[in-house]
Amino acid sequence: MNKTDSYLGFELGPIRPPSEAYSLLLRINRGCGWNKCRFCGFYRGVPFSPRSAEDIKKDIDLVKYWVDVFQGKEVSRQPKSEGDYEACYMAHHWIQSGMRSVFFQDANSILMNPDGMIEVLEYLNQTFPQIQRITTYARSDTINRLSEERLRRYAQLKLNRFHIGLETGNDYILKLMRKGVTKQVQIEAGIKAMKAGIEINEFYMPGMGGREYARQSALDTADVLNQVNPNFIRIRSMALAENLEMYEDYKSGLLTRPNDIETIGEIRLFLENLHGITSVVDSDHILNILLELRGKLPEDKDKMLGIVDRFLELPQEQQNIFRLGRRLGIMGNLRDLKNTVLTDKVKETMEKSSIDESNIDMVCDKLMIRAIPI
């Protein structure tokens, strides 16, 4: 497939960040132009291909048509294809959520040629002038290749938030995982984008360095974020699936899989070492154990450390109940441990399925992988 292919209809990519649940999704490119990270399987088997500005504008037209239908400004018709159904659904969902934000898919949409991107942004703004925010996943090396002037223009056209997969600030792990960027590149990209008026959301992946590099990963990641002071820091715990390349490192013994309790310990060290920044920290990813871990720095740092400590200081039996409760979707936050209906339900599952100290790590790992496509 290449740029010259004719329009294939409205398209949706496979993923978006949890915080973009209310955004209109528009596909700028298919797959990931890098697609080499050993901890990521989202786009394996999806050949990267850009979409033309012309095709993306057709997607925008289709969403506009359905928005107008739902707002009584257009005569309704039956959707003509799967893509048309998706555009119809997307328009309906977007109206319900206020039509304020748009998320550009798939990975690293800023790879699009800058003139094409400007064309799409201008058209989107003309079509839906009420939009307040357009966001995308962005790789640090690509940000660094764009001029500050270009980034500023994107921000003016409301492409004003980048979700960056920092993952870790540790150079050894970044290299081992074939992330394709260094700690320094990540620092420069974050600072550059923010200087151009773009908000930054950095994802941190605790657990990725195994037990062996947990401490260094926490400290180096905190160091990057202390230098960037991003608007948002989001935690997304590592899930270790057998189909991921990094699984080899765990099989060979190079790295050891940390369990949930150890991962929370890494997160504690990380939080403790965030200094002098004003970021909002969030833990809103389904893969995280402590979803209630959120707050604004610096004022909420002690509160967040308190949440972590509440978990770490629980008797092991209670920790296990909560871990399993979270992974089964029975429990949402630590308060649920006081709910006897929920705790009894988890205990019953443990009994029926013979889950105990000897196999709980394995069970939790398996449930974690089931929670999302990796």
Q: Could you tell me the smallest distance in angstroms from the CB atom of residue 180 to ligand SF4?
A: 7
367: enclosing H helix or E strand? helix 360-371
Applying CB under 6 A, which of residues 7, 9, 22, 42 lies at the interface with ligand SF4?
42
Applying CB under 6 A, which of residues 27, 51, 139, 153 lies at the interface with ligand SF4?
139
Under a CB-based contact definition with an 8 Å cutoff, are residues 326 and 289 in contact? yes
Applying CB under 6 A, which of residues 24, 40, 222, 289 lies at the interface with ligand SF4?
40
Beta bridge mates, 163 = 137, 201
Cα separation of 162 and 287, whole Å?
21
Strand pairing report for 232-235 and 280-282: parallel
Identify the residue whose tokens are 């079509």. Answer: 127
Applying CB under 6 A, which of residues 10, 43, 104, 322 lies at the interface with ligand SF4?
43
> What residues numbered 44-73 form the site for ligand SF4, per CB under 6 A?
none
If the CB atoms of residues 40 and 330 are measured against ligand SF4, the closer one turns out to be 40
Applying CB under 6 A, which of residues 17, 165, 207, 230 lies at the interface with ligand SF4?
165
Q: Could you tell me the smallest distance in angstroms from the CB atom of residue 34 to ligand SF4?
A: 4
Q: Could you tell me the smallest distance in angstroms from the CB atom of residue 57 to ligand SF4?
A: 25
Sheet strands (E) in the chain: 24-27, 29-30, 49-50, 101-105, 133-137, 159-167, 199-204, 232-235, 280-282, 295-296
Token pair of 266, please?
């890494």
Applying CB under 6 A, which of residues 107, 138, 159, 363 lies at the interface with ligand SF4?
107
> What residues numbered 15-34 form the site for ligand SF4, per CB under 6 A?
32, 34
As to burial, measured by CB atoms within 10 angstroms (0-12 exposed, 13-18 middle, 19+ buried), residue 39 is buried
Q: Could you tell me the smallest distance in angstroms from the CB atom of residue 37 to ligand SF4?
A: 3
Residues in touch with ligand SF4 (CB under 6 A) = 32, 34-37, 40, 42-43, 107, 139, 165
